[in-house]
Amino acid sequence: MSKAAGCRGFLHHVFDYETAKTLVIPHFGVGIVFRFTQLLVVLYVVGYVCVVQKGYQETDSVISTVTTKVKGFAYTNTSDMDPRMWDVADYVIPPQGDSSFFILTNLVVTPEQTQSHCPELPNPSTVCKDDCDCIEGYNDPRRNGIRTGLCENFSTTVKTCEVFSWCPLEVDTRLPKKALLAAAENFTVLIKNSITYPKFNFHGFKKHPASCGSRLSRDGSEGNCDLDWWAGKCLPKYSFRRLDSQNQDNDVAPGYNFRFAKFYKRADGVEERTLIKAYGIRFEVIVFGTAGKFGIVPAIVNLGAALSFLSLVPIVADWVMLTCMRKRDLYTKEKVTYLVESPDSEPVSMGTTYGTQ
């Protein structure tokens, strides 16, 4: 190809104006493909963008305040303790009714502890033969007190280092096998939930009674609010989930426990305490959710973006027409017309394929 011809071709390529021409293909198959693709796009826009995603809505996240109140009684009658009735003041810790609360289900009680001297609980590091085995002032954070330097009888057969501590020491291996407050599963909790969606100036308040036991193993998801007048739904759902590991084989320290004490002054002026090692279930009420309401900007943006898929429909139909149809050569020839203007200004049309003249 000469340089001049190449240059002319380039100028045609750059400056020839292409305009759309309507070519009607009276073919049932291509028509079906075209309408079916259009239907898919319309279903996507209406079904997914509008109904499922609610693309016409603005959204806002919830701000929530939660208070809780537990109710229920438990009765215990064990050899370690006198018969006892337990109410909320005994087993809900802390009692204020925060969004996080603990329900006591089992406990080890060590009553009448005073600041005094007593032998340590037997353990490879505390067992001794004589005073030389016990270093005065030594304290191990995992043991119970400061050593006095004496080796004392813990029992008739075992001697251990004496410590200065709250004595008698707690023996937490005496934990009742069966949960002492097994009745906890029948306790009920009232959750008061105040929610706000500031963007929509929406305030809501829900009271929700729930049973501590039956809900414990249930999993679920938080419900969202649809604030449009035609939907008008804002019903939060509560879901309960265990946060500790439930895999017995792969759990170093299962469950949750902590210690607290009640202090007294005896008649002789000596300070005394009852130490309680509490085992139980800690509940955390976590509220999360999103509200949506019609907004003109997201409606236009999302619907416009979704409807732009309609412009892809002719491309799909063209592809089927030009590659799969029996008369594809004819359609290809008619698809693009290159108009060549003759010297006497009578236009001559040439059916061509793309890029040829």
Q: Which residues bind ligand ATP (CB under 6 A)?
A: 69-71, 188-190, 209
The least CB distance from residue 222 to ligand ATP, in Å, is 21
The full length of the chain comes to 357
The least CB distance from residue 202 to ligand ATP, in Å, is 23
Name the residue type at position 54.
K
* CA dist., res. 215 & res. 239, Å (int): 8
The least CB distance from residue 241 to ligand ATP, in Å, is 20
Instruction: Determine whether the annotation assigns residue 188 to a binding site.
Output: yes
Start-to-end C-alpha separation, the chain = 15
Nearer to ligand ATP, 68 or 106 (CB): 68
CB 109 within 8 A of CB 274: yes
The structure tokens listed for 72 are: 């229920």
Instruction: Determine whether the annotation assigns residue 294 to a binding site.
Output: no
Q: Which residues pair with 59 in a beta bridge?
A: 292
Nearer to ligand ATP, 67 or 139 (CB): 67
The least CB distance from residue 180 to ligand ATP, in Å, is 21
CB 60 within 8 A of CB 298: no
Instruction: Determine whether the annotation assigns residue 257 to a binding site.
Output: yes
The least CB distance from residue 86 to ligand ATP, in Å, is 15
The structure tokens listed for 333 are: 């020839």
* CA dist., res. 349 & res. 17, Å (int): 15
Nearer to ligand ATP, 121 or 189 (CB): 189
* CA dist., res. 61 & res. 222, Å (int): 12
Instruction: Determine whether the annotation assigns residue 71 to a binding site.
Output: yes
Nearer to ligand ATP, 103 or 317 (CB): 103
- DSSP secondary structure string for all residues of 54-115: -TTEEEEE-EEEEEEEEE--EEE--TTS--EEE-HHHHEESTT--SEEEEEEEEEEEEEEEE
Instruction: Determine whether the annotation assigns residue 242 to a binding site.
Output: no
The least CB distance from residue 101 to ligand ATP, in Å, is 11
Token pair 């955390």 in the structure block, residue: 284
Nearer to ligand ATP, 71 or 259 (CB): 71
* CA dist., res. 302 & res. 296, Å (int): 10
Nearer to ligand ATP, 64 or 148 (CB): 64
Residues marked as binding for ATP? 69-71, 188, 257-259, 277
Residues marked as binding? 69-71, 188, 257-259, 277
